Amino acid sequence: MVNGEKAQIGMTIKKDDRVTVDGKDIAAIPDDERVVLVFHKPAGITCTSDPKRRDNIIDYIDYHKRIFTVGRLDRDSRGLILLTDDGILAHRIMHSSFGHEKEYRVTVDRPIDESFLNNMREGVMLEDQMTLPARAWQTAERTFHLVISQGLNRQIRRMCEALGFEVIDLLRVRVMHITLGSQKEGELRELSPKEKQELFKNLGMEDGRP
């Protein structure tokens, strides 16, 4: 029954409608309650659900619902990775055409200078293509932050290698407006309602739907 009347096939149920089955109220699950998790991935964990891999991230987290990663962090990298049960949301975050920012803290094997940073900002020629312009700033003698909107395979490590540097540590600290903050390595948390609301707004989704 919908608002006391027999339900009809194809009818639209509004948010404020009362739905009952055998006299019992049925509460609809709001779209914005879909699972969105923030995980601080340790090095040595692989972003795959393949059960044949003993280091796979899904078994490591052991969440009670079926989830998958939004994008990837390579096995040797650490930091923020999102997981969800929503394929539309994952696509809109990952796809390069949407241009969403990802920020990394990168430590290399020797001191960097302004020339190195300028190369990072302007784009680096890899084997088959030039990377897009990015933002970069130095925070220590061998450490810098890099903000990119691309998602090429092992992109930052390859950019550094092309300039003669080796990455010693790679930590993702932000995806869009979602930050790692003080979240500890190996720690999992749910996106806060405020973060989730802003995420859907930034993705052009309303209540979790396009």
Give the list of residues 6+ apart from residue 63 with CB closer than 8 angstroms, or none.
Answer: 35, 37, 83, 188
Q: Per the residue annotation, which of 74, 76, 86, 128 is the catalytic one?
A: 74
Cα Rg of the chain (Å, integer):
21
Q: How many CA atoms lie within 13 A of 34 on its CB side?
A: 22
Phi, psi angles (nearest 5°) of residue 181: 55, -130
Please indicate whether residue 17 is annotated as part of the active site. no
Cβ atoms 178, 80 nearer than 8 A: yes
Q: Which two tokens stand for residue 9?
A: 């096939």
Instruction: Give the span between the Cα atoms of 204 and 173, in whole angstroms.
Output: 23
Q: Alpha-carbon distance 57 to 68, whole Å?
A: 9
Residues labelled as active-site residues: 74
